[in-house]
Amino acid sequence: MSKWVIIGGGVQATTIAIHLRALGLSEHNLHIIDPYDHLMAQFEMQTTRIGMIYLRSPIVHHCHPAPFDLKNFARDENYAQPFKGRHQRPRLDMFFDHTRHWIETYHLEACHIQQAAVDIKREGHMWSIGLENGAWLEANHVVLAMGTHHHPFIPEIFQNVKDVTHIHDAKTTPCYEASHVVGSGISAGHLTLKLLAEHPERTIHLWMKKDFEMFAFDADPAWLGPKNMRGFHQEKDMAMRIKINQKERHKGSMPRDMIMSLKHYQQEGRLVVHQDPIIACEKHHIITEKERVPFDRILLATGFKYDVMEQPLMRRLCAMKEAQCVGQFPKTTTELEWLPNLYVAGMMADLELGPFARNIMGGRQAALRIGEAFQNDAKHLAS
């Protein structure tokens, strides 16, 4: 049996690993390279920091191949209020418990190598992956599933300003004594609600630079099926696919229940929402064209840099003769194969998977595509 290496240990990498194990890939022929001490650790840390209780995605978006496996898990384990709203969004702790159940079932932590992948090269029909400790690992097949949520994006006006930190800066411990949150999306919403709940005596300020944008999901669910994806795949201009993805993703949006909760606090006078762009942050004041507001501390929820293609490992791959890219995105086969026996997921699969490529469902779709490649390889070896 061929050896497979997955680079990354987040939601999508774990989803792909579970799917490959379910299809018959043995524990001994799978390695998962990720620098954190356990799989899903980064996603766990990031969702904990913002105080997320329920996921945004619905009941069938999880890490197991069977669509209703999470629903069955909730029933079998007797979770109270396991899902929320008409879209049945799962409890975050239950989602993690369910994922850990399958990590344990398939012994994925035994496959986990706690290192960063820093280099890669092709030698004959094999791939060699260089680790941070100097070791090299060989594999027949490689899956790149590193994700994009590694380096927080800090707007220039907030850089090197005292008492301003990004909620996802792994080098710092968030100060929840802050009274000011900057951000327009769901992470800012979660964080603001967390501060309001933990400090009932305090007025919290949310700086958004625009009005609330209400969407249930990251994109229209039609992008998960043939209704929209048929036209997406018929579009042969890859630059146009990039534009479609940018247009159709609801970046900086929040679901209805979150907006209603924030507006409730706003009506009570406990939350002040500022919707004018910030032009400066100096002398412990936030400044817009209309106001100058003093602050104690600021927590930024301004997202992440999309710099995965700038990593040394990715630059090495992009320099290979066969590697095709459009903009910053790999051009792949339908099985997400970018280079011979090297597959991509997440943002790197944007051109094939469309607007949902980067979220949990994108991981499920990537797992299905890469699973087809695994099965075809197994048939070839058996013949």
**Tens of pLDDT, residues 31-72:** 999 999 999 999 999 999 999 999 999 999 999 999 999 999
Q: Provide the pLDDT for residue 184.
A: 96
Residue 282 phi, psi (nearest 5): -150, 150
Tell me, yes or no, whether 92 and 23 share the same domain. Answer: yes
**Cα–Cα distances in Å, from 361 out to 209, 218, 353?**
29, 11, 10
Asked if residue 28 is part of any domain, the answer here is yes
> What's the CA gap between 302 and 278, in Å, rounded?
13
Among 280, 300, 320, identify where a domain stops. Answer: 300
Instruction: Tell me which residue of 194, 150, 189, 148 sits closest to 168, measured CA to CA.
Output: 150
Number of domains in the chain: 2
Which phi and psi angles does 12 have, rounded to 5°? -70, -45
pLDDT tens-digit map of 135-158? 999 999 999 999 888 899 999 999
Residues 309 and 375 in one domain: yes
Q: Are 82 and 192 within one domain?
A: no
How far, in whole angstroms, is CA 317 from its chain's centroid?
22
87: which 2 tokens? Answer: 């879209």
pLDDT at 191 over 80: yes
Query: Please, what is the average pLDDT of the chain?
Result: 95
pLDDT value of position 209? 87
Same domain, 194 and 330: no
Q: Does residue 39 fall inside a structural domain?
A: yes
Q: What pLDDT was estimated at residue 1?
A: 59
Question: Under a CB-based contact definition with an 8 Å cutoff, are residues 201 and 234 in contact?
Answer: no
pLDDT digits (tens, 9 = 90+) for 193-250: 999 999 999 999 999 989 999 999 999 999 999 999 999 999 999 999 999 999 999 9
Q: pLDDT tens digit string along 282-333?
A: 999 999 999 999 999 999 999 999 888 888 999 999 999 999 999 989 999 9
3-class state of residue 300 by DSSP: strand
- Residues 146 and 200 both lie in one domain: no
Is 234 within a domain? no
Q: Across the beta sheet with 112-113, what order do the strands follow?
A: 112-113, 30-33, 4-7, 141-144, 342-344, 337-339
Residue 126 zone, left/alpha/beta (φ > 0; ψ -120 to 50; rest): beta
What whole-number percentage of the chain has pLDDT above 70?
A: 99
Q: For residue 324, what are the domain limits?
A: 4-150+305-382
Q: In this structure, are 175 and 144 located in the same domain?
A: no
State whether 337 and 290 are in the same domain: no
Residue 226 within a domain:
no
Percent of the chain with pLDDT over 90: 92
Segment 106-140, tens digit of pLDDT: 999 999 999 999 999 999 999 999 999 999 999 99
Question: What separation in angstroms does the CA of 269 have from each of 156, 263, 266?
Answer: 31, 10, 5
